[in-house]
Amino acid sequence: MIELDGLTKRYGTKTAVDHLSFRVRPGMITGFLGPNGAGKSTTMRMMLDLDNPTSGTVRIDGRHYRELDEPLKYIGALLDAKAMHGGRSAYNNLLCLAQSNRIPRQRVDEVLDLVGLTAVARKKSKGFSLGMGQRLGIASALLGDPEILMFDEPVNGLDPEGIHWIRNLMKSLAAEGRTIFVSSHLMSEMALTADHLIVIGQGKLLADTSMADFIQQNSRSFVRLRSPQQERLRDVLHGAGFVVVEAGNGTLEVDGATTERLGELAAEHQLTLHELSAQRASLEEAFMQMTAGAVEYHAHGTDVHGGGPAAPSGPVWGADSGWGPRAGSTTEGV
């Protein structure tokens, strides 16, 4: 169990992490999601006591990281893949770490075997590919057989086979009852692995929810309409009591309607339609909307801090212009 309480990090006037409070629970994979620059890595570094928080605390099983006796036996972390001395062999890099925490030497061989690096154990790690470096980092995280594991963007730069391997590894570690905390900027990746989701944007907590709830709340269905008589079409839709959102490129989007109903409505008023299609916003898009909302709120100086599931509300949906064309819409969702 990791507990964050009001964790804040400021660099000068810029606030990278803003009063983050949440818990990471054992026995599941907790996804830590946010766009690049949202403060994920800074948060993770503060959790490991590498960066000093401006205020707030992190507790690992009730204790501060610096109070942990041989911390590798409590918590293992993959921060960045190349955080090893390139002139040292993979085996020796791990041996240094193992010795500092009194982890037996044979455990080094075990973890190298577990991540599939036994064949290159004696090779200098600077010759490693990104994927091999990532595996070496994971081996170092697993070294102390810890109950808590943290991975910062573990699938970055990996090939499909490597991504598949990491996903399965995290799932099996969670199934053993361990606490898994994994960051990503890809919603699609989280949807496939995480049981619980923590979303941050601009350093602020935007959502702390189960994956299932997040999907339910954010899989928005809508109908897209395109017409040469857009002005009249909008009046007609308004008249029928629908909420219409202008989505750019001459298209309108209507929530809570069926294509049948809208098609009939257009026919009644003899309107020409060039498009009438049912759409589902992808989770990726829902995530982008959520974090774009954070940018919006931030720019207007309004405080949305307070946590809890922050379902996108009306103004957030309307404020999507900053994200350009809505290429994220798909008919099948994630």
Partner 1 sequence: MAAVPAVLQSEWTKIRTVSSTVWTLAAALIVTVAMGAALSAVLKSSFDDLSEVERATFDPTFVSFSGMVLGQLAMVVFGVLVVGTEYSSGMIRTSLAAVPQRATFLFSKVAVAGALALVVGLVTSFLSFFLGQALLGEHRTTLGADNVLRAVVGGGLYMGLIALFSMGVATMLRSSMLSLGILVPFFFLISQILSAVPKAKEVAKYFPDQAGSKIMQVVPDALGSEKAPYGPWGGLGIMLLWVAASLLGGYLVLKRRDA
Given a contact cutoff of 8 angstroms between Cβ atoms, the answer to whether 121 and 90 are in contact is yes
Site string for partner 1, 96-135 (x = CB under 8 A): xxxxxxx---------------------------------
48 binds partner 1 (CB under 8 A): yes
Q: Which of 5, 23, 25, 95 binds partner 1 (CB under 8 A)?
A: 95
At its nearest, how many Å lie between partner 1 and the CB of residue 216?
Answer: 37
Q: Is 68 in the site for partner 1 (CB under 8 A)?
A: yes
Residues present in the chain in total? 334
In angstroms, rounded to a whole number, what is the distance separating the alpha carbons of residues 8 and 45?
12
Instruction: Give the range of 70-78, 173-181, 262-270, 282-290 binding partner 1 by CB under 8 A.
Output: 70-78
Taking the complex as a whole, the smallest distance from the CB of residue 52 to partner 1 amounts, in Å, to: 6
Which of the stretches 19-27, 49-57, 259-267, 303-311 binds partner 1 when contact is defined by CB under 8 A?
49-57
- Spatial CA neighbour of 237 closest among 259, 276, 265: 265
CB nearer partner 1, residue 179 or residue 251: 179
Spell 168-205 as b/e; 16+ CB within 10 A means b. Answer: ebbbebbeeebbbbbbbbebebbbebbbbbbbbbbbbb
C-alpha–C-alpha distance, residues 92 and 89, integer Å: 5
Please state whether 49 falls in left (phi above 0), alpha (psi between -120 and 50) or beta: left
Residue 82 near partner 1 by CB under 8 A: yes
**Count, residues near partner 1 per rule CB under 8 A:** 35
Q: Which of residues 215-244 bind partner 1 (CB under 8 A)?
A: none
| Residue 56, amino acid | G
| Interacting span for partner 1 (CB under 8 A) from 18-26, 84-92, 250-258, 316-324 | 84-92
State how far the Cα of 131 lies from the Cα of 171, in Å rounded to an integer.
19
Binding status of residue 49 toward partner 1 by CB under 8 A: yes
Q: What share of the chain is helix, strand, coil (3-state, %, to 5)?
A: 40, 25, 35
Query: Where do contacts with partner 1 occur on this chain (CB under 8 A)?
Result: 45, 48-52, 65-66, 68-72, 77, 79-80, 82-89, 92-93, 95-102, 140
